Amino acid sequence: MHPPIDYESSEEALDRAVQLLRPAKAVAVLTGAGISAESGLATFRGAGGLWEGHRVEDVATPRAFLRDPELVWRFYNLRRANLAAVKPNPGHLALVELENRLGAGFTLVTQNVDGLHQAAGNKNVLEIHGTLRRVRCVCCERVTDHGVEPLADLPHCAACGALLRPDVVWFEEPLPTDIWDRSVSAAASCDCFLVVGTSAVVYPAAGLIDVARMDGADVIEANLDRSAASSRVDVLLLGPSGTTLPELIKRLH
Ligand code: OAD
């Protein structure tokens, strides 16, 4: 159940968020699965949070892939098939407007692997958890972009014949170094940090919020419910990001 939204206080929250965002020259954004919820993609920890009885933490690990690659590929092939049917929503589009307003001062760090920010039109996107569109050979490490075209139940590398895996970051794996370094530097150097649709429980991603705070940025959160980060942000916009983000960006004009 969602907490009731008090319109008085959500108006105040929007006004405060506008005050913080309007003067900002450098803005970094961290998004999670919640921003794609209104496009029809399931979040990880909502409504029971289980997939075929498995916690996401149990299908998205190198150990799970070693133990049962078919199960893991079933999970990812289903997620890839979902991508073919979904489109960016007004929350994604609001972030495109924000990038257009800020130009080089805008950085979008996403934990999402769905590619919807790029499909919406964002350019400076750092995919810290990889992307469902690419696969990587477990042996020769060749990376191939297959978009959303269907793959075999257990796909193999065209170059060396070994098993392919999704080119995403699993639990217990390090993040891609260059992309992570650029994310930390965007968080550390921004005037305003916007956190959207993440439960903020998965690290190191959630640590970007603290990097931004410690380096003096104002932090605005847009989330359907309170998250693990809500007690350490300056403004919380409670509600679906497909509504709150367009409203926020509209008020910047
Ligand atoms: P979660 O499923 O943990 O959290 C989704 C968040 O979105 C929750 O805080 C919801 O309240 C919020 N939410 C849901 N619908 C929303 C809406 N319409 N508007 C705004 N907010 C909404 O997803 P993440 O935080 O992205 O990692 O999960 C982090 C990581 O854990 C993922 O990148 C993935 C996962 O396991 C890996 O696979 C490594």
In a domain, 146, yes or no: yes
Model confidence at 58, in pLDDT bands (50, 70, 90)?
A: confident
Alpha-carbon span 187 to 181, nearest angstrom: 10
Is residue 35 located within the same domain as residue 93?
yes
CA 214 to chain centre: 22
Backbone angles phi, psi at 41, to 5 degrees: -95, 135
Closest CA to 208 of 45, 35, 28: 28
pLDDT in the model for residue 95: 99
Is residue 111 located within the same domain as residue 194?
yes
Is residue 160 located within the same domain as residue 222?
no
Closest CA to 241 of 89, 133, 102: 89
Identity of residue 176: P
DSSP string for residues in 204-221: TTTHHHHHHHHTT-EEEE
pLDDT in the model for residue 29: 99
Terminal CA-to-CA distance of the chain, rounded, Å?
34
Q: Give the tens place of pLDDT for each residue, 186-226.
A: 999 999 999 999 999 999 999 999 999 999 999 999 999 99
In a domain, 154, yes or no: yes
Q: Is 79 in the pocket of ligand 1 (CB under 6 A)?
A: no
Query: Which atom of ligand 1 has the smallest separation from the CA of 60?
Result: 38
Q: What is the CATH number of the domain that holds 16?
A: 3.40.50.1220
Give just the sign of the alpha carbon dihedral 83, 87, 50, 170: positive
Query: 59: part of which helix (H) or strand (E)?
Result: helix 56-59
Q: How many domains does one find in the chain?
A: 2
Alpha-carbon span 192 to 184, nearest angstrom: 14
Q: Is 230 in the pocket of ligand 1 (CB under 6 A)?
A: no
pLDDT in the model for residue 51: 67
pLDDT in the model for residue 134: 97
Is residue 69 located within the same domain as residue 118?
no
Is residue 108 located within the same domain as residue 182?
yes
61 lies in which domain range? 50-85+134-168
CA-proximal residue: ligand 1, atom 7 (nearest):
34
- Which of the residues 129, 146, 156, 253 is marked catalytic? 129
Is residue 65 located within the same domain as residue 143?
yes
Q: Is 111 in the pocket of ligand 1 (CB under 6 A)?
A: yes
DSSP 45: S
Q: Give the tens place of pLDDT for each residue, 60-119.
A: 999 999 999 999 999 999 999 999 999 999 999 999 999 999 999 999 999 999 999 999
Is residue 229 located within the same domain as residue 182?
yes
Q: Is 239 in the pocket of ligand 1 (CB under 6 A)?
A: no
Residue 51 DSSP SS3: strand
pLDDT in the model for residue 49: 64
DSSP 144: E
Q: Quote the ligand 1 centre to 217 CA distance (angstroms).
A: 23
Q: Give the tens place of pLDDT for each residue, 147-174.
A: 999 999 999 999 999 999 999 999 999 9
Alpha-carbon span 230 to 97, nearest angstrom: 25
Q: Is 130 in the pocket of ligand 1 (CB under 6 A)?
A: no
pLDDT in the model for residue 44: 80
Is residue 189 located within the same domain as residue 232?
yes
Query: Which atom of ligand 1 has the smallest separation from the CA of 112?
Result: 33
Q: Quote the ligand 1 centre to 56 CA distance (angstroms).
A: 12
In a domain, 5, yes or no: no
Q: What is the CATH number of the domain that holds 140?
A: 3.30.1600.10
For residue 92, indicate whether it is catalytic.
Answer: no
Backbone angles phi, psi at 236, to 5 degrees: -115, 120
Is residue 114 located within the same domain as residue 228?
yes
Q: Is 37 in the pocket of ligand 1 (CB under 6 A)?
A: yes
